[in-house]
Amino acid sequence: MKATAPRGRRPRRKEAAAPSPAAIESVPLAVGDKRHPVLGLGLWGLGRWSAEDEARTRATIGRAIERGVRWFDTAEVYGAGRSERLLGDVLRRATEGAQALVVTKLSWEHLRANQVRASLVRSLDRLGRASVDLYLVHAPDRRVPLAETMGALEQLQQEGRIGAIGVSNFSVEELEEAGRHLRSTQLVVNQVRYNLFDREDAEAVLPYCREHGIVVEAYTPLARGLLNGRYLDGRRPPAEVRQYAQDLFGESRLPEIVRQARGLQQLAAEAGVPLPSLAFHWVRARGAAPVFGASRPEQVDANLDAWAQRPDEATIARADALVRGERA
């Protein structure tokens, strides 16, 4: 006889198991006692639009915290400050928020000494913090001497408002100049664009950064979604994506990149790993720390699940050779 639940009671549903935290190692920073995770969540595309988007952003950050992500990258220009505000609010409500490495960036439009201080104060107010763990110059501006910017940042660090100073999109020459103008500290990070298709900026600075103890953070490790399998079915990238990645999505280059991405997709399938796994661990094998974007909780899960599956060295070498047009 088929068993039935007692009248008036409903059978209990099994609760879905909470997703397990990702295993993300960390490396020391050259300044301070904070460690730098080697995988993080970037908030470039978050905090921009409607109330629905904002709710999704909160859920995305919350899922990342739940899954063990502890490095969060934002900037004052992301969503005109909304990204910082949302991140700060979610971190304050999370018991694990105190463990996070919070990174924000000073706009290239605010590199004068008085602007540096004002920008940091506004960022801290939005983040709801007395200090930020890591403060980056988003990009250099040749019209503003690095001596002025670095002097202002060092003063703020001495006041306890900045844990460590870093930069983004700096060449070796700019790293050297910035370093010369820091008297009691040093640069700890250079964040650059780096993925299987975009190598020039990072490969030009990696040896210098390695020699000087500077962590290289790699943004766009999935090449605006191409290395997540996006746009490989013939769909065109939206206008906003094309605007910020013209080198990838230009009419002259895109067909060849799509062909290579499909080859990488096949290689990943043969190795039994997701395509993003290949992309993440190619970056990591070269000594950089990838920071990925996600706009929904399920994208966080997919990227962390891909991170957990590491291809062997031979597969990573074949991926590199494929994009270089060489035989592995």
Q: How confident is the model at residue 13 (pLDDT cuts 50, 70, 90)?
A: very low
Residue 143 maps to a domain: yes
Residue 21 maps to a domain: no
Residue-level pLDDT at 2: 45
Residue 156 maps to a domain: yes
The number of distinct structural domains making up the chain is 1
Residue 290 maps to a domain: yes
Residue 154 maps to a domain: yes
Q: Which residue range(s) make up the domain with 93? A: 26-225+283-296
> Tell me: the pLDDT tens digits for 216-244?
999 999 999 999 999 888 787 777 677 66
- At position 190, the amino acid (one-letter code) is N
Cβ(292)–Cβ(39) below 8 Å: yes
pTM of the model: 0.91
Residue 217 maps to a domain: yes
Catalytic residue among 78, 135, 194, 231: 78
**Catalytic annotation present for 78:** yes
The DSSP bridge pattern shows strands 215-219 and 35-37 to be unpaired
Per residue, the 3-state secondary structure of the chain, as one string, reads CCCCCCCCCCCCCCCCCCCCCCCCCEEECCCCCCEEECCEEECCCCCCCCHHHHHHHHHHHHHHHHCCCCEEECCCCHHHHHHHHHHHHHHHHCHHHHHCEEEEEECCCCCCHHHHHHHHHHHHHHHCCCCEEEEEECCCCCCCCHHHHHHHHHHHHHCCCEEEEEEECCCHHHHHHHHHCCCCCCEEEEEEECCCCCCHHHHHHHHHHHHCCCEEEEECCCHHHHHHCCCCCCCCCCHHHHHHCHHHHCCCCHHHHHHHHHHHHHHHHHHCCCHHHHHHHHHHHCCEEEEEECCCHHHHHHHHHHHCCCCCHHHHHHHHHHHHCCCC
Residue-level pLDDT at 254: 87
Residue-level pLDDT at 49: 62
Q: What is the CATH number of the domain that holds 68?
A: 3.20.20.100
Residue 193 maps to a domain: yes
- Mean pLDDT of all residues in the chain? 91
Residue 266 maps to a domain: no
Instruction: Say whether pLDDT at 31 is over 70.
Output: yes
> Tell me: the pLDDT tens digits for 100-123?
999 999 999 999 999 999 999 999
